[in-house]
Amino acid sequence: MSLVRFKDFSIDANDVPAASAFWAAALGLTAEALPDGDAVLRGPTPQHTVWINAVPEPRTVKQRVHFDVHGRSVAEYEALGATRLPGWDTPWTVMGDPESGGELCVFERDDDWWSAHPQAYRLYEVGVDAVDHPSMTAWWADVLGSDVDDEGRGFSWTTPPGVPFESLVFQNVPEPKTVKNRIHWDVTGGPDAVDELVRRGASVLRGPAEQTPWTVMADPEGNEFCVFEEEG
């Protein structure tokens, strides 16, 4: 049984219009500018929502959370302004987005795949860097009520119920987390969810306020996420 449920994603950006235009096209969502200067990307369900939030600080390090996307070709993402990043020897293409240079991975699919998956939505997986990937995957699987898959290849994953993507994939990296993640996910839970998350190893970074009625937390490796209390 899950303690919390996946709600949606948030992306920090210095240039909100540029970020919202790119990510709407890259993910197959519809962008909407908000009166406060932020933006929101919407899809067929509330769980497809991605909030684009203005922040003053630039991206300075490799992102510890990134999106993997389905693509017809790398060229189509280059046409959107993304650039290939050198130094990666992988079956997929690591690219930098045009707004901040933040990493994303493009998995090229053939015509047969697209015939079987005609939807416009393109988010495949969410990659998360970790110091101890088995522990992190197990922690998130526990609170989200899902199972752990691990083939012993330096990464493991979990597929929470109700998410509009295949899995959360945690992989070991040598470098520690040093700055706030520019991509994070939000969850919903009952009135005791925050206290129980703390009991299980999370920490509270900022409590709810009048303008922000959610709790900002960090998982055991410091990855930020926001907890909203379920309505009703």
Q: Quick one: pLDDT band at residue 232, thresholds 50, 70, 90?
A: low
Residue % of the chain over a pLDDT of 70 = 100
Whether 48 contacts 29, CB under 8 Å: yes
Domain that holds residue 165: 4-229
Q: Quick one: pLDDT band at residue 14, thresholds 50, 70, 90?
A: very high
What mean pLDDT comes out for the span 200-229? 94
Residue 28's CATH number? 3.10.180.10
Q: Quick one: pLDDT band at residue 7, thresholds 50, 70, 90?
A: very high
What confidence tens digit (pLDDT) does each residue in 139-198 have? 999 999 999 999 988 899 999 999 999 999 999 999 999 999 999 999 999 999 999 999
What confidence tens digit (pLDDT) does each residue in 18-60 have? 999 999 999 999 999 999 999 999 999 999 999 999 999 999 9
Q: What was the pLDDT predicted at 100?
A: 97
Q: Calculate ∠ Cα 227-229-232, nearest 5°.
A: 160
Q: What is the mean pLDDT of the chain?
A: 96
Helix (H, G, I), strand (E, B) or coil at 58: coil
What mean pLDDT comes out for the span 132-140? 98
Q: What was the pLDDT predicted at 231?
A: 79
- Pairing type for strands 224-229 and 183-189 reads parallel
Whether 73 contacts 91, CB under 8 Å: no
Domain tally, the chain: 1
Is the pLDDT at 210 greater than 90? The verdict is no
Q: Calculate ∠ Cα 194-200-206, nearest 5°.
A: 35
